[in-house]
Amino acid sequence: MSTNTPRAEYPRPQMVRKDWLCLNGSWDFAFDFADTGLKRGMLEQAFEKTITVPFCPESDLSGIGYTDFMNAVWYRRQVTIPESWQEKRLLLHFQAVDDEATVWVNGKQVGRHHGGWTPFTCDITDAVGDALTAEIVVRARDNRDPKPQGKQSIRYENFGCLYTRTTGIWQTVWMEPVPQTASLKRSRITPNCAQSRFEIEQPIDGAFAAMQLRVTVGDEQGEVAVVQKTLQNMMVPRVEVPIPDDRLRLWSIDDPHLYDLIIELLDADGNVIDTVESYAGMRSVSIDGKAILINGKRVFQRLVLDQGYYPDGIMTASSDQALIDDIQLSLEAGFNGARLHQKVFEERFLYHADRMGYLVWGEFGDWGYGRYDGHRQPHDAFTTTWVTQWLEAVARDYSHPSIIGWCPLNETAAPMDDQIHNLDDVTHAMYHATKLADPTRPVLDTSGYSHRVVGADVYDCHDYEQDPVKFQANQAGLAENKPFTNGSDQPAPWSIPYAGQPFFVSEFGGIWWNPRAAATENSWGYGQRPKNIDEFYERFEGLCTVLLQNPDMFGYCYTQLTDVFQEQNGIYSFNRESKFDMKRIFDIQRQVAAIEKR
């Protein structure tokens, strides 16, 4: 791989094949503002501009830097196919394209995908044929309504907590060859701590009757266990790999141990057809009253809201190191995890979270402000689009040990009155779909505001009260199972009653601090700006201590890790510079939490 290729690291760390080709770098590019390009023959036309993939055209790193609305954009690139790939099937992968993608290879349509958060694959074997070249053309549309857009602005400009949009390709594009007859697909790896084994569901593409599946688990000492079984005509083969007691080591924030996995598909004679490398962590997540346990232990979740935006790449980090740096900055501030907010983060981030022992709540970018009424109530088209795209994200990320909870919705709101609102159907659909897709992790039906699911795993609130005394009064009712709820001041309640499940304040703080910002600058945070930095520390300590010393609180999520454009309430600035004495911030957060003393 050329050292000049941007984001050239392998994009799918839990399913690695050694033979692959990164297609990031320079592509021909064209705007299609009216989305009439196909009718105007753009499929066959040359494009005058060039763009650096995988960065979106709104970003500086793309070389385009155009931030107005784009109904559609086009990409073109010529690719030389390695000769060694002949006699193989050729897969073209897109890690994320916002929002609707159509792909042609050598003039033939090879794939379509709707949804800007998740990967998709095109089998281009037939389109390439015997040729050693492939002309790839991509049209990305960004004009569908409704759209789960996360924090992307619905105006030309940024405003409030909405930011510069992302259009088109914004994660890695790549190719790989796979065997003609049958090949491995993404594994679904479930740790079973109680029985000291990994349970692996291994989908296979192609005919695989009488073939064999071999799974080898290893660690730094070498081989740990090997299981091989002959496959039958079942939909998804399943393999259980027991880990010997003397090699059993749990994944935790203090010891994020990962086992290496080699998964091989063999023919009836024992010849290896396909091989992928993966990894897994042995850890459990469970609920005990109001506590969430990790490996059977109470761990107070000191989470930070991370929105995953960058000044130069918008939603795309400039480098793999930038992803590592964000986790390291969070750890240095005393957090032990993050709520990945209104964005499905790229897989490389989760890989580093797995390696670094960083707890993560996965979340969908469900916001779509222009698609709501005054109560942020979705219309009917919401349900199918949101559930489909969210399930793709859950399937992609299921096997990452760092993910310890799911949050499919954020700040939905509608009254609990005599009407059954669309929001009721959407919330139930998203919650129950998540539980069916992953019964191993707790699910929060919605973060803040309208809790609609009876018996949901987790309950929460958002509380941006800035006075620690008033903040404590707000949260004191949890001891009597009467927690603070958003919308309690409305004519009709927004949520079903609390039922004693684990509770946390999943957004708080957001203290506005940028001493270099002029009073007239487009800058904001929650509440009044502290008069000086000492007042910031006093407020931060007071708010955190209220939650840390509440024996019924399993965690919190502070807003936020970094400033994001005009929202300047981060622990760090938008360019990741320290705004505070991090040792002091660290020490405040690392006081022993009341729930951990039990």
- In this structure, the answer to whether residues 167 and 67 fall within a common structural domain is yes
Per DSSP, helices labelled H in 476-581 are 533-548
Task: DSSP for 419-460, please give it.
Answer: S--HHHHHHHHHHHHHHHH-TTS-BBS-BSS----TT-SBEE
**Distance, CA of 582 to CA of 569 (rounded, Å):** 15
Q: Is the pLDDT confidence value at 428 over 60? A: yes
Contact 276, 17 (CB under 8 A): yes
- Which pair of structure tokens corresponds to residue 255? 């010891």
Helix crossing, 582-589 with 533-548: angle to 10°?
20
What's the rounded mean pLDDT across residues 396-411? Answer: 97
Contact 386, 363 (CB under 8 A): no
CATH number of the domain enclosing 373: 3.20.20.80
| Amino acid letter for position 119 | P
What's the rounded mean pLDDT across residues 78-82? Answer: 96
pTM of the model: 0.96
Tell me whether residue 572 is in a domain. yes
Buried b vs exposed e over 164-183: b needs ≥16 C-beta within 10 Å?
A: bbbbbbbbbbbbbbbbeebb
- Which pair of structure tokens corresponds to residue 10? 């392998």
* Coil/strand/helix, residue 217: strand
Beta bridge partners of 199: 190, 240
pLDDT at 368: 75
pLDDT tens, 446-468? 999 999 999 999 999 999 999 99
**Angstrom distances, CA of residue 232 to CA of 211, 239, 265, 271:** 8, 12, 13, 17
- In this structure, the answer to whether residues 262 and 316 fall within a common structural domain is no
pLDDT at 82: 95
Tell me whether residue 55 is in a domain. yes
Tell me whether residue 493 is in a domain. yes
CB atoms within 10 A of CB 333: 22
CATH number of the domain enclosing 254: 2.60.40.10
- In this structure, the answer to whether residues 460 and 580 fall within a common structural domain is yes
pLDDT at 442: 98
| Helix, strand, coil abundance in the chain, percent, nearest 5 | 20, 30, 50
Contact 133, 539 (CB under 8 A): no
Tell me whether residue 214 is in a domain. yes
- In this structure, the answer to whether residues 136 and 214 fall within a common structural domain is no
Backbone angles phi, psi at 132, to 5 degrees: -105, 15
What's the rounded mean pLDDT across residues 307-330? Answer: 98
**Distance, CA of 112 to CA of 242 (rounded, Å):** 40
**Distance, CA of 453 to CA of 148 (rounded, Å):** 21
Q: Is 115 left (phi over 0), alpha (psi -120 to 50) or beta?
A: left
What's the rounded mean pLDDT across residues 430-446? Answer: 97
pLDDT at 522: 80
DSSP state of 469: H
Q: Is the pLDDT confidence value at 540 over 70? A: yes
Residues of the chain with pLDDT > 70: what percent?
96
* Coil/strand/helix, residue 310: strand
**Distance, CA of 311 to CA of 572 (rounded, Å):** 13
Q: Is the pLDDT confidence value at 519 over 80? A: no
Structural domain ending residue among the three candidates 280, 304, 337: 280
Tell me whether residue 183 is in a domain. no
- In this structure, the answer to whether residues 161 and 215 fall within a common structural domain is no
Spatial neighbors of 488 by CB under 8 A, at least 6 apart, are 494
**Distance, CA of 357 to CA of 380 (rounded, Å):** 40
* Coil/strand/helix, residue 594: helix
DSSP state of 77: E
pLDDT at 370: 43
pLDDT tens, 497-513? 999 999 999 999 999 99
**Distance, CA of 435 to CA of 427 (rounded, Å):** 12
**Distance, CA of 330 to CA of 328 (rounded, Å):** 5
- Which pair of structure tokens corresponds to residue 440? 């191993």
- In this structure, the answer to whether residues 206 and 309 fall within a common structural domain is no
Q: Are strands 337-340 and 359-363 parallel, antiparallel or unpaired?
A: parallel
Run of H or E including 145: none
What's the rounded mean pLDDT across residues 83-109? Answer: 97
Report which of 104, 98, 199, 100 is spatially closest to residue 151, judged by C-alpha positions.
98
pLDDT at 146: 76
- In this structure, the answer to whether residues 299 and 261 fall within a common structural domain is no
Backbone angles phi, psi at 356, to 5 degrees: -100, 0
- In this structure, the answer to whether residues 301 and 204 fall within a common structural domain is no
- In this structure, the answer to whether residues 336 and 472 fall within a common structural domain is yes
Contact 346, 320 (CB under 8 A): no
- In this structure, the answer to whether residues 528 and 385 fall within a common structural domain is yes
Structural domain ending residue among the three candidates 118, 145, 177: 177
Tell me whether residue 6 is in a domain. no
Structural domain ending residue among the three candidates 228, 247, 280: 280
pLDDT tens, 368-393? 744 444 445 555 666 788 999 999 99
Residues of the chain with pLDDT > 90: what percent?
87
pLDDT tens, 28-73? 999 999 999 999 999 999 999 999 999 999 999 999 999 999 999 9
Report which of 555, 598, 526 is spatially closest to residue 461, judged by C-alpha positions.
555
Range of the structural domain that residue 107 is part of:
21-177
Tell me whether residue 187 is in a domain. no
**Angstrom distances, CA of residue 456 to CA of 287, 362, 498:** 12, 17, 10
pLDDT tens, 210-244? 899 999 999 999 999 999 999 877 678 999 999 99
CATH number of the domain enclosing 157: 2.60.120.260
Contact 444, 460 (CB under 8 A): yes
- In this structure, the answer to whether residues 328 and 387 fall within a common structural domain is yes
Number of folded domains that form the chain: 3
- In this structure, the answer to whether residues 253 and 161 fall within a common structural domain is no
| Amino acid letter for position 198 | F
pLDDT at 380: 60
CA gyration radius for the chain? Answer: 24
Per the omega criterion (within 30 degrees of 0), is the bond before 306 cis? no
* Coil/strand/helix, residue 462: strand
pLDDT tens, 339-375? 999 999 999 999 999 999 999 999 999 987 444 444 4
Tell me whether residue 290 is in a domain. no
* Coil/strand/helix, residue 191: strand
| Amino acid letter for position 355 | R
